[in-house]
A and B are shown apart, each in its own frame.
Chain A
Amino acid sequence: MEDIKIITKNWGKINPLKISDYIEVGGYSALKKFVAGMKPTEAIGEVKVSGLSGRGGAGFSTGDKMEMVAKSKKHKKYFICNLDELEPGTYKDRMIVDNDPHILLEGIIISALAIGAHKAYIYINGNYEKQFEILEYALRESRRKNLWGPGILGTKYDLDVELFSGAGAYICGEETALLNSIEGYRGEPRLRPPYPTAVGLFGAPTCVNNAETIANLPWIILNGGKKYAKIGATCSPGMKLYTLGGVVKNQGVVEAPTGITIRFLIDKLGGGMQDEKEFWFAQIGGASGHLVTEKELDTALTFSRDCPIPLGSGAIVVVDKTANIYELMLSWTEFFRHESCGKCVPCREGTFRLHEIISRLQDGEISERDREAMQDILWALENTSFCPLGKFAATAVRDAVEKLKILNI
């Protein structure tokens, strides 16, 4: 196991509120390298070589996305850092801000300049009040050091960075809903195509990247994409923050390469099960994630489409046999019944009815009619909903029914 740390390298070692601490450990040198002599295309080239993919869960190639916006001939472009972290059980982005806000800012500034944007937004979850203040402070400090604003570090680069607080809606983590939210509309996903890289914020080409993805940028610029590509799984290389939760000994955020197995995550990084409890299943990737049972524990987690268990946001919740599965299912369905935006029929009505049905089976018994209805709703959510939220709403419930064989369906 390589003992490399990219995102968490400064955690606990520096005072996150002091920009001088960050600069002392080599911070903002990537930005300096970039503005001093790197062409934007070179920087994007490095990101492409690195094979970095979106850490928000979809796993789209970051380099490709940046290139699409950079290539656009339109004058107005935007860069957005997606910090609307609302996936239950995930708090990696929050930890980045808590421990090292400047690595994020550096990444944002580099990405925005590389794609040719003059305005960058940080879209932060409305519940992250403390993190909002940390970022506000960090922005003020870095502004004083001329790290953003007009004429960055004495060069021709201009960039304005704005902190924008969402209102705490799960759907606003979806990039098009996020755009609507910044524009002042209801947070609802937009129809695609056109993709945000072509028609995004206020109609301009926009690159929306997850905070964790962005935090990788300074390292890639400094050390080169080739070196980054050697870390972790070949299909989606790099380091990843995993949020361990549930009945593991060491809960919290850990940085580890992609491509490690779930068993390694639980036993080595998580320190094994709490109090020798018996493992039942783990949920990978938050409320929208799949459930894995004992026999799938040796699956290597990657962002590749061929990976049977999508890594998603990197949250792992370990559940032991003493847990009440019906209560868990109720909490999942309640989450989606609350967080669906209500735009399309299957998701609006389906999540509502699914929650009703699950609340009726709290005694472990299900009527024939509910069983049929549940199957129909899950099918409709998976096949007919407008955006991925509908599909996610069905994932865990379907896994509980099919993999855990509850209800004997």
Chain B
Amino acid sequence: MKIKINKKEYSAKENETVLDVCRREGIRIPTLCSHGKLKREAVCRMCLVETNKSDKLVTSCTTKVFEGLEVTTESEKIKKAREINLELLWSDHAGKCVKCKKNRQCELQTLAQEYKIENFHFVPRRGEMTSGEENELLRENWSRVVVDEKNPVIVRDSQYCVECRRCINICPISSYGFNHRAGDVVVGTPYNETLDCLFCGACVAHCPTGALVDQGDIQKVMADLDDINILSVAIVDPAILSSVENELENVSTLEDLTGFLRALGCEKIFDLSWGFQNYVGKVVEEIHPHHAKKGIKKMHLSNFCPSAEIYIEKYYPALTKNILKTKRPEELMSEAIKGEYATSEKIDPKKIRVILLSSCTSRKKLQGKNIDHITTVRELGRIVREKKMEKDEIKSSKVDKFLDGAGKQYENLYEYGQLSRVVSSQIKGKFSVGSANGVVEIGNALKAEFAKEKHYDFLEIMICPEGCENGGGQSIKIKE
């Protein structure tokens, strides 16, 4: 069908919304609550547009297209609506941009700049209140703030929250919800308990502001990078290349990124090929004895995705013993860096700092003796912004050779389905493999296994949709 947007004709499909058409055609409509395939809540009221069907403003994210529809996306009225609602959000926002971990990667900040929100006339000023009222206001404001820093992966601070509900909708196990009501609404866990989830990080990746950020101290990473007595070794997870461009302008290939990391102060940069290769070998070694014994039908679950491991432990505790025990590629590799590699290069392992650049937030739990820092794409972006690096100084370069792997490219196991393919190709005889992503698919696969409808000798499980490409440590575009 044909619809008109800003007096220009566009073709649209049945069941598409106005926002869908505008996104496809590159017409800018700001949103804070709607993102990608997430449930359209229509709560931020940023995407309001005018149509020829009523004199009311309607939300473009939920208005379905129909023949003869005419839409206006910019007008005085629309601008006014967006400005007032943005300012209302700003008045309730912490507004500590400079210290905020999301500075310059914040959707609210971007919108405020776009709509030039500089008046704060909803917030009372000093002198307009008595000191008693002021104290009361402060007390009330603080009574509603919830900060959760106790879990190992995600930091939540409700001062920055714009109640967009993305985290509520994206969480695979529904960890979050609204607590209280009206102006007192706080997004949080039931009874405000410390977050205890799968730590897949999808909520952090989708948070438009700094309400949900990565746990971790980039200052320590930066200090190690700058320390000349320390050998900083970066391990690059190939999956981060799918979103690194959102944080580092014009960086899209591994060579670009390697160049960037060298400029940043990483002395050695390795990809994960060696780790992948050894990991697959160990996985096959672990499965094979069970498989070789006739009559035993044991289902092996991959341990590759730490979130999936937590999921099984929490929701299918009986299957915990079916999860592989093999160390993960990055664990194998960091161990080798501080072991074999340090010996062969004659470096004191104590002077080596391994930084894992990861597309995953739940891998933050692997931080320990061998892996010193685990940095998500978002954190890498912050490091670069804080260091104020210029793109001109950077030349692309190749990753370093690692032991016998010699920089040989190996299949990227972070790609969904790859691990089960590689494993099945290396095991002889009848061997059924499967892969499941997301809690729904995993649940279905396990249900089929329990009901003896379908047996998997090896099931690759990942929590993030389509695997690490959409991992919780990735960065999303702030302007869709």
Q: Is B348 an interface residue, CB under 8 A from the partner?
A: no
What 8 pairs across the A-B complex have the smallest Cβ distances? A352-B183, A342-B185, A349-B88, A340-B182, A380-B84, A353-B122, A344-B43, A373-B121
Question: Do A345 and B89 have beta carbons less than 8 Å apart?
Answer: yes
In the complex, which residues of chain A have a beta carbon less than 8 angstroms from the beta carbon of B56? Answer: 383
Min C-beta distance of B293 to chain A, whole Å: 48
Min C-beta distance of A137 to chain B, whole Å: 32
A377-B45 contact in complex given A339-B182, A341-B182, A360-B128, C-beta closer than 8 Å: no
Residue of B nearest to A367 (CB): B128
- CB contact list, B38-78 vs A, under 8 A: 40-45, 48, 56-57, 62, 77
Question: Do A353 and B182 have beta carbons less than 8 Å apart?
Answer: no
Question: Do B182 and A380 have beta carbons less than 8 Å apart?
Answer: no
Question: Do A384 and B91 have beta carbons less than 8 Å apart?
Answer: no
The interface-forming segment of B173-181, B327-335, B435-443 is B173-181
Contacting residue for B45 out of A353, A379, A384, CB 8 A: A384
Min C-beta distance of A193 to chain B, whole Å: 9
A363-396 contact mask (Cβ, 8 Å, vs B): 1 or 0? 0000101101100110110011110000000000
A340-B181 contact in complex given A346-B88, A380-B88, A386-B43, C-beta closer than 8 Å: yes
Q: What would 5 A/B residue contacts be, using CB atoms closer than 8 Å?
A: A169-B181, A344-B44, A345-B44, A349-B85, A386-B45
Question: Could you tell me the distance between the alpha carbons of A384 and B185 in the complex, rounded to whole angstroms?
Answer: 19
Question: Do A369 and B88 have beta carbons less than 8 Å apart?
Answer: no
B145-185 contact mask (Cβ, 8 Å, vs A): 1 or 0? 00000000000000000110000000000000110111111
Identify which of A349, A350, A369 gathers the most chain B CB atoms within 10 Å of its CB: A349
In the complex, which residues of chain A have a beta carbon less than 8 angstroms from the beta carbon of B91? Answer: 349, 353
Contacting residue for B81 out of A186, A339, A340, A383, CB 8 A: A383
Q: Is A119 an interface residue, CB under 8 A from the partner?
A: no
A307-342 contact mask (Cβ, 8 Å, vs B): 1 or 0? 000000000000000000000000000001111111
Residue of B nearest to A371 (CB): B121
B207-244 contact mask (Cβ, 8 Å, vs A): 1 or 0? 00000000000000000000000000000000000000
Identify which of A339, A341, A353 gathers the most chain B CB atoms within 10 Å of its CB: A353
Question: Do A186 and B178 have beta carbons less than 8 Å apart?
Answer: yes
Residue of A nearest to B122 (CB): A353
Question: Do B84 and A342 have beta carbons less than 8 Å apart?
Answer: no
Question: Do A383 and B88 have beta carbons less than 8 Å apart?
Answer: no
In the complex, which residues of chain A have a beta carbon less than 8 angstroms from the beta carbon of B81? Answer: 380, 383-384
B: residues with CB less than 8 A from A are 40-45, 48, 56-57, 62, 77, 80-81, 84-85, 87-89, 91-92, 121-122, 124, 128-129, 162-163, 177-178, 180-185
In the complex, which residues of chain A have a beta carbon less than 8 angstroms from the beta carbon of B57? Answer: 383-384
Question: Do A344 and B45 have beta carbons less than 8 Å apart?
Answer: yes
Min C-beta distance of B53 to chain A, whole Å: 13
Min C-beta distance of B239 to chain A, whole Å: 35
Q: Is A348 an interface residue, CB under 8 A from the partner?
A: yes
Question: Do A349 and B183 have beta carbons less than 8 Å apart?
Answer: yes
Question: Do A379 and B182 have beta carbons less than 8 Å apart?
Answer: no
Q: Is A1 an interface residue, CB under 8 A from the partner?
A: no
Q: Is A141 an interface residue, CB under 8 A from the partner?
A: no
Question: Could you tell me the distance between the alpha carbons of A356 and B162 in the complex, rounded to whole angstroms?
Answer: 19
Residue of A nearest to B184 (CB): A342
Q: Is A39 an interface residue, CB under 8 A from the partner?
A: no
Q: Is A191 an interface residue, CB under 8 A from the partner?
A: yes
Question: Could you tell me the distance between the alpha carbons of A337 and B181 in the complex, rounded to whole angstroms?
Answer: 9
Question: Could you tell me the distance between the alpha carbons of A181 and B163 in the complex, rounded to whole angstroms?
Answer: 20
The contact size tier of chain A is 35 or more
In the complex, which residues of chain A have a beta carbon less than 8 angstroms from the beta carbon of B41? Answer: 191, 343
In the complex, which residues of chain B have a beta carbon less than 8 angstroms from the beta carbon of A342? Answer: 163, 178, 180-185
Residue of A nearest to B90 (CB): A349
Q: Is A258 an interface residue, CB under 8 A from the partner?
A: no
In the complex, which residues of chain A have a beta carbon less than 8 angstroms from the beta carbon of B121? Answer: 369-370, 372-373, 376
Question: Could you tell me the distance between the alpha carbons of A345 and B48 in the complex, rounded to whole angstroms?
Answer: 12
Question: Do A360 and B129 have beta carbons less than 8 Å apart?
Answer: yes
In the complex, which residues of chain A have a beta carbon less than 8 angstroms from the beta carbon of B177? Answer: 186
Min C-beta distance of B270 to chain A, whole Å: 47
Question: Could you tell me the distance between the alpha carbons of A342 and B76 in the complex, rounded to whole angstroms?
Answer: 27
Question: Do A340 and B45 have beta carbons less than 8 Å apart?
Answer: no
Min C-beta distance of A344 to chain B, whole Å: 5
Min C-beta distance of A52 to chain B, whole Å: 27
In the complex, which residues of chain A have a beta carbon less than 8 angstroms from the beta carbon of B181? Answer: 169, 338-342
Question: Do A343 and B92 have beta carbons less than 8 Å apart?
Answer: no
Identify which of B45, B88, B178 gathers the most chain A CB atoms within 10 Å of its CB: B88
In the complex, which residues of chain B have a beta carbon less than 8 angstroms from the beta carbon of A377? Answer: 84, 88, 122
Min C-beta distance of A264 to chain B, whole Å: 34
Question: Do B129 and A343 have beta carbons less than 8 Å apart?
Answer: no
Question: Do B124 and A191 have beta carbons less than 8 Å apart?
Answer: no
In the complex, which residues of chain A have a beta carbon less than 8 angstroms from the beta carbon of B88? Answer: 345-346, 349-350, 353, 377, 380
Known interface pairs A337-B182, A346-B84; 16 further A-B residue pairs with C-beta atoms within 8 A, sorted by A's residue number:
A191-B42, A338-B181, A339-B182, A340-B181, A340-B182, A340-B183, A343-B43, A344-B44, A345-B85, A348-B163, A349-B89, A349-B92, A351-B182, A353-B122, A369-B121, A383-B81
Question: Could you tell me the distance between the alpha carbons of A168 and B183 in the complex, rounded to whole angstroms?
Answer: 18
Question: Could you tell me the distance between the alpha carbons of A367 and B57 in the complex, rounded to whole angstroms?
Answer: 30
Residue of B nearest to A192 (CB): B62
Question: Could you tell me the distance between the alpha carbons of A376 and B42 in the complex, rounded to whole angstroms?
Answer: 21
Min C-beta distance of B47 to chain A, whole Å: 11
Min C-beta distance of B19 to chain A, whole Å: 14
Question: Do B85 and A352 have beta carbons less than 8 Å apart?
Answer: no
A351-B183 contact in complex given A186-B178, A345-B85, A360-B128, C-beta closer than 8 Å: yes
Question: Could you tell me the distance between the alpha carbons of A345 and B129 in the complex, rounded to whole angstroms?
Answer: 25
Residue of A nearest to B43 (CB): A344
Question: Do B183 and A337 have beta carbons less than 8 Å apart?
Answer: yes
Question: Could you tell me the distance between the alpha carbons of A336 and B183 in the complex, rounded to whole angstroms?
Answer: 10
Contacting residue for B43 out of A340, A345, A369, A380, CB 8 A: A345
Question: Could you tell me the distance between the alpha carbons of A191 and B183 in the complex, rounded to whole angstroms?
Answer: 21
In the complex, which residues of chain B have a beta carbon less than 8 angstroms from the beta carbon of A379? Answer: 80, 84
Min C-beta distance of A128 to chain B, whole Å: 20
Min C-beta distance of B295 to chain A, whole Å: 46
In the complex, which residues of chain A have a beta carbon less than 8 angstroms from the beta carbon of B124? Answer: 356, 360
In the complex, which residues of chain B have a beta carbon less than 8 angstroms from the beta carbon of A345? Answer: 43-45, 85, 88-89, 162-163
Contacting residue for A338 out of B43, B87, B128, B182, CB 8 A: B182
Min C-beta distance of A154 to chain B, whole Å: 45
A9-23 contact mask (Cβ, 8 Å, vs B): 1 or 0? 000000000000000
In the complex, which residues of chain B have a beta carbon less than 8 angstroms from the beta carbon of A386? Answer: 42-43, 45
Question: Could you tell me the distance between the alpha carbons of A386 and B44 in the complex, rounded to whole angstroms?
Answer: 9
Question: Could you tell me the distance between the alpha carbons of A338 and B181 in the complex, rounded to whole angstroms?
Answer: 7
Question: Could you tell me the distance between the alpha carbons of A343 and B41 in the complex, rounded to whole angstroms?
Answer: 9
In the complex, which residues of chain A have a beta carbon less than 8 angstroms from the beta carbon of B45? Answer: 344-346, 384-386
Question: Do A348 and B80 have beta carbons less than 8 Å apart?
Answer: no
In the complex, which residues of chain B have a beta carbon less than 8 angstroms from the beta carbon of A370? Answer: 121
Question: Do A384 and B85 have beta carbons less than 8 Å apart?
Answer: yes
Min C-beta distance of B76 to chain A, whole Å: 12
In the complex, which residues of chain B have a beta carbon less than 8 angstroms from the beta carbon of A351? Answer: 182-183
Min C-beta distance of B139 to chain A, whole Å: 14
Question: Do B85 and A348 have beta carbons less than 8 Å apart?
Answer: no
In the complex, which residues of chain B have a beta carbon less than 8 angstroms from the beta carbon of A367? Answer: 128
Question: Do A348 and B44 have beta carbons less than 8 Å apart?
Answer: no
Min C-beta distance of A194 to chain B, whole Å: 11
A352-B129 contact in complex given A346-B88, A380-B85, C-beta closer than 8 Å: no
A191-B62 contact in complex given A342-B185, A384-B81, C-beta closer than 8 Å: yes
A346-B85 contact in complex given A186-B177, A360-B124, A383-B56, C-beta closer than 8 Å: yes
Question: Could you tell me the distance between the alpha carbons of A68 and B181 in the complex, rounded to whole angstroms?
Answer: 33
Question: Do B48 and A384 have beta carbons less than 8 Å apart?
Answer: yes
Identify which of A345, A356, A360, A380 gathers the most chain B CB atoms within 10 Å of its CB: A345
Min C-beta distance of B42 to chain A, whole Å: 6
Question: Could you tell me the distance between the alpha carbons of A169 and B184 in the complex, rounded to whole angstroms?
Answer: 15
Question: Could you tell me the distance between the alpha carbons of A385 and B128 in the complex, rounded to whole angstroms?
Answer: 29
